[in-house]
Structures are given as C-alpha cells and as structure tokens.
C-alpha cells in the first residue's frame, strides 16, 4: 500500500468508531476543549476518551496544546480535507467508469 493510501486509511480507521465521531462533532463546534469538557454528558470514561483522542491524534485528526496545567484538544482540518479530496478523486473515477459503461451498453 502506498504511503498516500496508508495515510487515508489511518484517518478512516480513526473515524470508524462512534465515540470518535462524536468527539469530532464536539471539537468542530467549539474552541479547544479539555478531556473533562469532552467527557461531559457522556457515559464514556475519561480514560477511554483519552485513549480515543490519542488514536485520533496519531491519525492527525486532533492535536493537543498545553495551557497551564491543562491539555486541550482541537480538531485538525488538514487530514479531513485530504481524505475528502481522496474520496472526490475516487468518485470521479467511478463516474467516468460508469459513463464509459453506459456508452458501451447504449451503443
């Protein structure tokens, strides 16, 4: 697998969990947040949220910054935008292939 596909695979793998998707939603709507803020209103433990955040950080979806004694996490758009572009390219290839098939069948 090429490095480019591997990078996208890690993003899709990181997003393949409902807890991580809910974290993305929370981080998209606000400024950087602490683990306590991200855990609020959830049945998931702080330890589990931390584990999910580290997996997302490894995939480049979030980054943490230190403010005083607190670690805050914020969403990184770069990897999502690159994954979106990748899916757009795949979609274009499929559209092209389907158009060729349609033309072949109709002729």
CB within 8 Å of 82: residues ≥ 6 apart: 7, 8, 11
Tell me the pTM. Answer: 0.75
What CATH number did the domain enclosing 72 receive? 1.10.10.10
Q: Looking at the 3D structure of the chain, how many domains does it have?
A: 1
pLDDT in tens, 3-46: 556 678 889 999 999 999 999 999 987 789 999 999 988 899 99
Rounded Cα distance between 67 and 12, Å, is 29
- Domain, as residue range, for 42: 3-106
């Amino acid at each position: 697998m090429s490095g480019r596909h591997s990078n996208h695979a890690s993003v899709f793998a990181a997003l393949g969990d409902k807890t991580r998707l809910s974290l993305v939603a929370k981080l998209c709507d606000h400024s950087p947040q602490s683990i306590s803020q991200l855990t609020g209103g959830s049945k998931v433990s702080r330890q589990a949220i931390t584990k999910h955040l580290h997996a997302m950080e490894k995939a480049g979806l979030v980054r943490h910054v230190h403010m005083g004694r607190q670690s805050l996490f914020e969403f990184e758009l770069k990897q999502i935008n690159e994954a979106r572009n990748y899916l757009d390219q795949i979609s274009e290839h499929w559209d092209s292939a389907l158009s060729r098939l349609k033309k072949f069948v109709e002729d």
